[in-house]
Structure 1
């Protein structure tokens, strides 16, 4: 008979996740051993937050829930930010926390935290593992974490349970449900078709739900049928190839996109999740039709008609049955792209962040997977980097956490071992995850990290300047990037010109070693860029 940890390891591997990641505790060793004998990797992270972010990003890319673990007490508490990322960025994730056995847990004080209570606001479901019902617990966890909207679940693992014999089920359920989505009847979409056909200038605002249903191709087909421009959230970059003539750009909640949207006479929201939008009232009085795979409960997007179903099926059916549009989208999208580019092209002394992004995109191969950290540079990365396929651009948007780019890049390298992976981060975000350079080297997961070195927490400096407050408390600086990288066994180089950056990126690509490229940039244009594109 299988033990509790053997049931868990078998389930993780069957679901498509061949590794566990995290920083273990004493109660984790049996699970680590069960994984080892099944040829599953254990990836030792230096910070529990980074482990959860890596595992969550694996879930984003593959659809198979990532698995992370921590020790009890301090480890579980430290992992909270990574779980919050999975919650607000809608990532399938199973988080396992060690726990004392029940008698000790009930009377002990040292390192005792109520993990279930601590994680309850962040997870879709949390439970304490019990060997007698672990098979049902893991099946429920797999279904819960992957069902729209995806998100984290938590297992609390008491010290008494790992080696116990797992209970059997008389009729064990399939680990993952086999879901069928029948083609809709045309009559069932009659109202949506009528509204779309009546519009002369429809626009599509697309969000993360498209990826949950693997509906990127159908999204593009609908846009092409209607001739509609497409704005995506930053997490959905690449769902429509960003050199497509109907791709306008990214929704950032700024004034600049309102000009484009306000020209439309119908908004078609496809998979738009309010967690991806700025927390402000909906700015448009244009009619909205929403296509969604889960009901909207927040009422942020005022849809007059909400059509529920699998988004690949719905958008494909509408592409088949709607009439062709007026074709206004191509010119409108091109104008918007030019407006954004012009707004970002502020003058600079030396290497500007916008030119650094343009050089990076021109130098790196088309199939490069990019990750992006939070911070002032994120605005430039989102707008200037182009992605050409689903899940080729990875970022923390719902939570907007710093320290994401490096663990996200490690997950991308695990999922795409033969593709180049680049992480774009500010110097502040880099320092939050610097220890995972050692993980990259030790685990032979080579990535290229481009650090925008402006010697400050630039986003806070921008807000200080906009509010008329003196710069204070945001300086970093003084980092010897080359020695720092070499200390972890990586390559390091500092550049301050476009040619230098181009050469460093090309060299990193050919060496296939973890490389830190510190790009010393002039961020003096950030305020003008933020004022032009986004309300603060």
Structure 2
């Protein structure tokens, strides 16, 4: 045995992994862990106002750093609250270690206040769920980090039995385990992939989120340029290819995706790279053409209707480099026509009058916000515009949730981004519906003295649902946030609220906000009708 308690061993092990923040809402069972965090340099506990917000913060920390984000929730309601953000890490593919209180062995399975089976709760939304043992603290945590970061990243849940934290920890020899790196794909698959690509007349490249994490940006750009092939992206692959690049064709699923479809529907072969169907199912967009997938996870495709010509399972970077070495002529695409379609698409998403709508609000924000800054956003109509029109200079500078798509993501995600990148400008775009879900986390930004500009799009409308109602010729019901007005007040939880009613006032207000210290809300009072003609378009006929 050592002189360390289990609680101290847990904290020291997390620190050894590179964890700098643990987010959560404390419980009586968490007190020993908090004391260990308080007395250990280089790692701190960040009190959230809701466990769901804490887990969103851990999700984004995991994305940005590559080190599992860590969050905590107590029994029952603490765990179920935490589960919303854990689900985000699961479907948005972020490495995470989610900690919860658990009943001691003698009380498991009995009728006890707040008690549910946390192992059963987290099993469907984690890669693995387990519980801590005093004799195996380092082994269990290092294994959790290994599982969380290997292959398709995701969360691992560890239950902390109450009463164990103060026990003496065992002497352990366990060491951190490096993430498992995929082996190269089988040679027969690589050769078949290359043959299909060489024979194709008009292949299209589709990028997914694992194209970012596999580090193939340089190779993908070289591939597109060498063979003059258009590239479409899933929303969470933004930044892989500049919007101004001649081979960039647009983002799937988001605003005016029917225009993007005019390109990919011409293809006679789809080459997907790091594509995760959790963002957008293939069947909803691919043309009637064979699919070649370069990934580490098996492709999910309805093969009764579509052809999976080659599932190239293995190291993505190796597969892309093998494809890049293909010997064939430039493909038969009209890139001038692509440029024209793209120019018309962006023109349709530009403000065309003096009205103050979301298109103008995003254009002005992009002009005022540093190019190297990180922008996070919430779920709603505005995310469809951001996905298509927000110029993103490189991966990681626009952070959204698409696989999980939880409203309320924007506020906590910006907090995590600023904590992880304190010297990088951070702003966040959120609709008034999502704002109300996690507004309490603004108190965290105040307490941590974080310079974040929250741009609140106030239109008093759950626009995506309202648009769907109107498409069915149903009356508008249950979607207005309020009858009229603003979010209320000029200060929320200590965060100043600066209101803007037109484009000029908004531009001036943004400049003022970016010069201020601490978190600031810029409330842009907009008309949501601009979304109606831009979002929820079909990606193919």
In the superposition, the TM-score normalised over structure 1's length comes to 0.92
Who is 2:217 aligned against?
216
Pick closer, same or farther for the CA change 1:297–1:143 going to 2, 3 Å: farther
| Partner SS, residue 433 of structure 1 | helix
Who is 1:394 aligned against?
399
CA distance in 2: counterparts of 1:398 and 1:447, whole angstroms: 25
The Cα of 1:349 is off from its aligned counterpart by 7.2
Match of 1:335 among 332, 340, 362: 340
Who is 1:55 aligned against?
58
Who is 1:288 aligned against?
291
User: After alignment, is 204-213 or 245-254 more displaced?
Assistant: 245-254
Who is 2:462 aligned against?
457
CA distance in 2: counterparts of 1:496 and 1:267, whole angstroms: 45
Who is 1:526 aligned against?
531
| Partner SS, residue 79 of structure 1 | helix
Who is 1:10 aligned against?
12
The Cα of 1:133 is off from its aligned counterpart by 2.2
Task: Indicate if the aligned counterparts of 2:460 and 2:480 stay in contact, CA closer than 8 A.
Answer: yes
Matched, 1:483 2:495: no
Matched, 1:442 2:447: yes
Pick closer, same or farther for the CA change 1:400–1:392 going to 2, 3 Å: same
CA RMSD of aligned residues (A): 2.5
User: After alignment, is 133-142 or 393-402 more displaced?
Assistant: 133-142
Who is 2:375 aligned against?
370
Task: Indicate if the aligned counterparts of 1:292 and 1:307 stay in contact, CA closer than 8 A.
Answer: yes
Matched, 1:167 2:167: no
Matched, 1:136 2:142: no
User: After alignment, is 524-533 or 257-266 more displaced?
Assistant: 524-533
The Cα of 1:147 is off from its aligned counterpart by 1.6
The Cα of 1:187 is off from its aligned counterpart by 7.5
Pick closer, same or farther for the CA change 1:324–1:501 going to 2, 3 Å: farther
CA distance in 2: counterparts of 1:213 and 1:433, whole angstroms: 32
| Partner SS, residue 425 of structure 1 | strand
Who is 1:240 aligned against?
241
CA distance in 1: counterparts of 2:215 and 2:192, whole angstroms: 25
The Cα of 1:77 is off from its aligned counterpart by 1.4
The Cα of 1:345 is off from its aligned counterpart by 5.0
CA distance in 2: counterparts of 1:474 and 1:280, whole angstroms: 30
| Partner SS, residue 205 of structure 2 | strand
Who is 1:32 aligned against?
34
Q: Deviations over 1:56-113 (max 9, x none)?
A: 0111111111000011111111122111111111111111111232223443421111
Q: Deviations over 1:139-180 (max 9, x none)?
A: 2211111122111111111112212233345x63x4132656
Task: Indicate if the aligned counterparts of 1:482 and 1:493 stay in contact, CA closer than 8 A.
Answer: no
| Partner SS, residue 516 of structure 1 | strand
CA distance in 1: counterparts of 2:282 and 2:499, whole angstroms: 38
Task: Indicate if the aligned counterparts of 1:216 and 1:312 stay in contact, CA closer than 8 A.
Answer: no
Who is 1:427 aligned against?
432
Task: Indicate if the aligned counterparts of 1:406 and 1:449 stay in contact, CA closer than 8 A.
Answer: yes
CA distance in 1: counterparts of 2:302 and 2:538, whole angstroms: 25
Who is 2:473 aligned against?
468
Pick closer, same or farther for the CA change 1:343–1:280 going to 2, 3 Å: farther
Who is 2:261 aligned against?
258
Who is 1:361 aligned against?
366
Unaligned runs of 5+ in 2: none
Who is 1:118 aligned against?
121
Task: Indicate if the aligned counterparts of 2:189 and 2:311 stay in contact, CA closer than 8 A.
Answer: no
CA distance in 2: counterparts of 1:302 and 1:135, whole angstroms: 46
CA distance in 2: counterparts of 1:535 and 1:407, whole angstroms: 35
Match of 1:495 among 492, 500, 507: 500
CA distance in 2: counterparts of 1:461 and 1:7, whole angstroms: 51
CA distance in 2: counterparts of 1:280 and 1:511, whole angstroms: 47
Task: Indicate if the aligned counterparts of 2:230 and 2:249 stay in contact, CA closer than 8 A.
Answer: yes
Pick closer, same or farther for the CA change 1:101–1:185 going to 2, 3 Å: closer
Q: Deviations over 1:363-391 (max 9, x none)?
A: 21111211111111221121121111111
Pick closer, same or farther for the CA change 1:532–1:121 going to 2, 3 Å: closer
Pick closer, same or farther for the CA change 1:277–1:175 going to 2, 3 Å: same
Task: Indicate if the aligned counterparts of 1:387 and 1:393 stay in contact, CA closer than 8 A.
Answer: yes
Who is 2:191 aligned against?
190
CA distance in 2: counterparts of 1:27 and 1:333, whole angstroms: 59
Matched, 1:316 2:321: yes
Matched, 1:67 2:70: yes
| Partner SS, residue 532 of structure 2 | helix
Match of 1:152 among 137, 152, 155: 155
CA distance in 2: counterparts of 1:389 and 1:483, whole angstroms: 37
CA distance in 2: counterparts of 1:221 and 1:95, whole angstroms: 39
Unaligned runs of 5+ in 1: none
Match of 1:273 among 276, 289, 300: 276
Pick closer, same or farther for the CA change 1:148–1:178 going to 2, 3 Å: closer
CA distance in 2: counterparts of 1:472 and 1:179, whole angstroms: 50
Q: Deviations over 1:127-147 (max 9, x none)?
A: 121112222211221111112
Who is 1:90 aligned against?
93
Task: Indicate if the aligned counterparts of 1:229 and 1:332 stay in contact, CA closer than 8 A.
Answer: no
The Cα of 1:28 is off from its aligned counterpart by 1.1
Q: Deviations over 1:466-517 (max 9, x none)?
A: 1111112222235654735x24222211112222222222222222431111
Matched, 1:416 2:421: yes
| Partner SS, residue 328 of structure 1 | coil
| Partner SS, residue 397 of structure 1 | coil
Pick closer, same or farther for the CA change 1:324–1:499 going to 2, 3 Å: farther
CA distance in 2: counterparts of 1:479 and 1:279, whole angstroms: 41
| Partner SS, residue 450 of structure 1 | strand
Q: Deviations over 1:412-447 (max 9, x none)?
A: 112221111111111000111111111111112221
Task: Indicate if the aligned counterparts of 2:284 and 2:539 stay in contact, CA closer than 8 A.
Answer: no
